[in-house]
């Protein structure tokens, strides 16, 4: 998608990654039991065939348009722009999609792949329940059996999403082992896949896991950045100066960034969850504070203890509470093509209230991390520059956290 005027990034032909073995530089790969390799190869072969098939492309686009609600608006945030008095701020409104976030782009794409492979059963793991709901939704839409693995602890914390999945006809299996959270649900889902691989497709929810998942999820999410390119062009703006997105596993960020990677004049910032602060152990700032290791079938940056155990992440936002990150982000960090930083729980909460009060939009807590970075970036910008923030999801699911914050603030925290 590079424009003729934009030469490739000088230090690396980034569009070529991953290589044939699924590596982004030294990151990625396929760290799985031998028995899963045929399933990953079948997935890769099917994906490579369908990505050049115009009928598949047309069906995917049609589902995005008529079922998910694409294209999403690129909204000029006039009041937020006036508040900072610097660069023009645009919001990419992924919060307006069916099921309330960008995750539906990927689940639609992957269920079409599952159908093409003749699979009739879908499994997934979920932490906060958002990916579980997006998966149960498309399983209902395409008439497939669906089983979602979820930590027992998470099921208690996110009960409304458990109810949604059940209403959509999915089975929700409680995982009682380990810390009873996402990490343990992921192990159970992998175990299920090992036993039922002939009939079952495992829908991974972000640009993580063994090759080819990071490549496939990027492919289905890049519609976000492609629309931003077209929408800015239609407004007479050739190129944004800054793109900002939150990073959990990294799929909404990859989706926004990917079409711009070969444009050296576009700066990109990935914002991780700083939790209670990166000087404490209570954060999820994987790229800022982690070290490379192997987890969830891939080599990537991980939060780990001194002896190499996975360190339990913390974030006020359940969707960012993941100890790893997509391998392509690890690569883009080392290439210095994308800047990774983090904001705290407090900063994210303040940014959410600012957007609500100034623009009448209640963002997801994950997206509020991207918005919070405006506080640091905007003073350094000029009025002729454009900043695009990916508003990855809406805040309905976070209302109890927001209300609690409001009560602690005495009920009327100004923007």
Instruction: Please report, as ranges, the residues that interact with ligand PLP according to CB under 6 A.
Output: 101, 103, 130, 206, 246-252, 319-320, 364, 366-367, 392-393
φ/ψ of residue 388, rounded to 5: -110, 125
Cβ-based nearer residue to ligand PLP, 88 or 125: 125
**Does 392 qualify as catalytic in the annotation?**
yes
> Taking the complex as a whole, how short is the minimal distance between the CB of residue 267 and ligand PLP, in angstroms?
19
Cβ-based nearer residue to ligand PLP, 27 or 56: 27
> Taking the complex as a whole, how short is the minimal distance between the CB of residue 1 and ligand PLP, in angstroms?
20
Consecutive H or E run containing 84: helix 78-84
Cβ-based nearer residue to ligand PLP, 86 or 361: 361
End-to-end CA distance of the chain: 38
18 upstream amide cis, omega within 30 of 0: yes
Q: Write out the two tokens for 6.
A: 């934009």
> Taking the complex as a whole, how short is the minimal distance between the CB of residue 173 and ligand PLP, in angstroms?
20
> Taking the complex as a whole, how short is the minimal distance between the CB of residue 296 and ligand PLP, in angstroms?
13
Residue 16 half-sphere exposure toward CB, CA atoms < 13 A:
8
DSSP assignment of 225-257: HHHHHHHHHHTT----SEEEEE-SSSHHHHHHH
Q: Which of 86, 103, 119, 222 is catalytic?
A: 103
Q: Do 182 and 151 meet the contact criterion of CB atoms below 8 Å apart?
A: yes
| Radius of gyration in angstroms for the set of CA atoms belonging to the chain, rounded to a whole number | 20
DSSP assignment of 129-195: SHHHHHHHHHHHHTT-EEEEEEEHHHHHHTHHHHHHHHHTT-EEEEE-STTSSHHHHHHHHHHHHHH
Cβ-based nearer residue to ligand PLP, 28 or 249: 249
**Does 413 qualify as catalytic in the annotation?**
no
> Taking the complex as a whole, how short is the minimal distance between the CB of residue 236 and ligand PLP, in angstroms?
29
Determine how many CB atoms are found less than 10 A away from the CB of residue 310.
16
Cβ-based nearer residue to ligand PLP, 185 or 246: 246
> Taking the complex as a whole, how short is the minimal distance between the CB of residue 198 and ligand PLP, in angstroms?
28
**Does 86 qualify as catalytic in the annotation?**
no
Determine how many CB atoms are found less than 10 A away from the CB of residue 203.
27
Q: Do 242 and 87 meet the contact criterion of CB atoms below 8 Å apart?
A: yes
403, burial (CB in 10 Å: exposed 0-12, middle 13-18, buried 19+): exposed
Q: Which of 44, 125, 153, 272 is catalytic?
A: 125
Q: Which of 119, 330, 392, 397 is catalytic?
A: 392
> Taking the complex as a whole, how short is the minimal distance between the CB of residue 247 and ligand PLP, in angstroms?
5
Cβ-based nearer residue to ligand PLP, 109 or 319: 319
Cβ-based nearer residue to ligand PLP, 43 or 287: 287
Nearest residue to ligand PLP on Cβ basis: 393
Measuring CA to CA, how many Å separate 332 from each of 67, 216, 261?
33, 18, 10
The residues that are catalytic are 103, 125, 392
């Amino acid at each position: 998608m590079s424009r003729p005027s934009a030469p490739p990034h000088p230090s690396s032909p980034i569009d070529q990654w991953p290589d044939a073995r699924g590596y982004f530089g030294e990151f990625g790969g396929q760290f799985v039991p031998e028995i899963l390799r045929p399933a990953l190869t079948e997935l890769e072969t099917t994906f490579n065939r369908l990505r050049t098939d115009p009928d598949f492309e047309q069906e995917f686009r049609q589902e995005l348009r008529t079922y998910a609600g694409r294209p999403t608006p690129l909204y000029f945030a006039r009041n937020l722009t006036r508040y900072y008095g610097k660069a023009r701020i645009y919001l990419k409104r992924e919060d307006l999609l069916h099921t309330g976030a960008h995750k539906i782009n990927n689940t639609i794409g992957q269920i079409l792949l599952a159908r093409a492979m003749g699979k009739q059963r879908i499994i997934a793991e979920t932490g906060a329940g958002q990916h579980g709901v997006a998966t149960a939704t498309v399983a209902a839409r395409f008439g497939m059996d669906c089983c979602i693995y979820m930590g027992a602890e998470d099921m208690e914390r996110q009960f409304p999403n458990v109810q949604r999945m059940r209403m959509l006809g999915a089975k929700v299996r409680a995982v009682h082992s380990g810390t009873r959270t996402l990490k343990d649900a992921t192990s159970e889902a992998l175990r299920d896949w090992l036993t039922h691989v002939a009939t079952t497709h495992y829908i991974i929810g972000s640009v993580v896991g063994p090759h080819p998942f990071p490549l496939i999820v990027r492919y289905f999410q890049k519609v976000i950045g492609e629309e931003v390119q077209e929408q800015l062009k239609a407004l007479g703006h050739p190129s944004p100066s800054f793109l900002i997105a939150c990073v959990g596993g990294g799929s909404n960020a990859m989706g926004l960034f990917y079409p711009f990677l070969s444009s050296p004049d576009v700066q990109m910032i990935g914002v991780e969850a700083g939790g209670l602060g990166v000087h404490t152990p209570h954060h999820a700032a994987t790229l800022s504070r982690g070290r490379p290791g192997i987890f969830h079938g891939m080599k990537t940056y991980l939060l780990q203890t001194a002896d190499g155990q996975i360190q339990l992440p913390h974030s006020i936002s359940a969707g960012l509470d993941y100890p790893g990150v997509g391998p392509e982000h690890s690569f883009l960090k080392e290439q210095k093509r994308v800047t990774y930083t983090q904001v705290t729980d407090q900063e994210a909460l303040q940014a959410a209230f600012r957007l609500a009060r100034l623009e009448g939009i209640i963002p997801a807590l994950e997206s509020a991390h991207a918005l919070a970075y405006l506080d640091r970036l905007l003073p350094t910008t000029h009025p002729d520059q454009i900043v695009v923030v990916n508003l990855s999801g809406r805040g309905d699911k976070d209302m109890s956290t927001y209300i609690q914050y409001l009560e602690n603030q005495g009920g009327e925290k100004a923007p």
